[in-house]
Structure 1
Amino acid sequence: MSDTPTPLTFQVSARRLDAHASQARCKQAELAIDTDLAGNPAAFNPAELLLAALAGCMIKGIERVAPILKFELRGVEVRLHGVRQDVPPRMASIRYEIIVDTDEPDRRLALLHDNVRKYGTVFNTVAPGTDLSGELRRA
């Protein structure tokens, strides 16, 4: 019997609705995707989806470790700014700001930030190919 944990798997499907939008589906959720060459203000474009996935990863990581660390918080906000490079096309840099509404001391904020950087699946997928940096601060 192996002690190797079974890897988590994820399934998402997407389909073109028309020349202006597409739709992604996962579990019971649907998400509009901006696939219009002129842009669609009513949906996230692929680069914005990447930033949203990174923000979600950061918040979920905080939700995961807060009970373990007995970290008390009232809220979390993540702000991201991505810069796209044209040749070759890629996200050249991402700057983030994680704002935590808490009374915890600064050393505990630093510990929380370390956990976000160390254990985030999307964070650790994006970080090697992108200049990814930011701060976690108190609200």
Structure 2
Amino acid sequence: MLGYKVSAQRIDPRESVARTETAEVRLATGLSGAADAFNPAELLLASIAACMIKGIERVIPPLAFSIDGVEVVLHAVRQDDPPLIVSVKYQLVVDTDETDQRLELLHKNVRKYGTISNTVPLAARLDGVIWRKS
């Protein structure tokens, strides 16, 4: 099985930093937050987006799929008591001339083979659509 390791350290009352061996991400961990860092919910959404984009990169070669760009737009709904994300909606916007059938095939593969996009639905609803960039 593949494993992952991240460490995080508090920098000050507003901010922390998460690190892997060679990269770091600034985190808004204070009560007032830090406008130029990701808060935990935004980090979750960024993780889903990264998973989907990586999934697209993974299936482009075997599907011989042609794209000029991808954007993922996500929106999460949080309940207060207890605090948790109850749903995430996404839009995959793909700049491509591929057919609608091939675009749906891309979407199916992204949802089927993504580590994060397979994990999140175990805790919250994950729904979305794929669009062609106009």
TM-score by length of 2: 0.97
Q: Which deviates the most, 25-34 or 51-60?
A: 25-34
Using the alignment, how far apart are the partners of 1:122 and 1:25 within structure 2?
A: 19
1:28 paired with 2:22, answer yes
- Post-superposition offset of 1:27: 2.2
| 1:14 matched residue in structure 2 | 8
1:74 paired with 2:91, answer no
- Post-superposition offset of 1:88: 1.4
Structure 1: runs of 5+ lacking an equivalent: 1-6
Is this contact kept in 1: 2:15–2:33, CA < 8 A? no
- From 125, 128, 132, give the equivalent of 1:131: 125
Structure 2: runs of 5+ lacking an equivalent: none
| 2:81 matched residue in structure 1 | 87
Using the alignment, how far apart are the partners of 1:8 and 1:131 within structure 2?
A: 25
RMSD: 0.7
1:103 paired with 2:97, answer yes
- Post-superposition offset of 1:128: 2.0
Secondary structure in 2 aligned to 1:118? helix
AA at the equivalent of 1:45: N
Secondary structure in 2 aligned to 1:39? coil
Deviations 1:75-116 (A, max 9, x none): 000000011111111111111000000000000000000001
Using the alignment, how far apart are the partners of 2:60 and 2:68 within structure 1?
A: 11
- From 51, 54, 59, give the equivalent of 1:57: 51
TM-score by length of 1: 0.94
In the alignment of these two chains, the number of paired residues is 133
Deviations 1:4-37 (A, max 9, x none): xxx1111100000110100000121111000010
Q: Which runs of 4+ in 1 moved over 2 A?
A: none
- From 104, 109, 119, give the equivalent of 1:115: 109
- From 33, 41, 44, give the equivalent of 2:35: 41
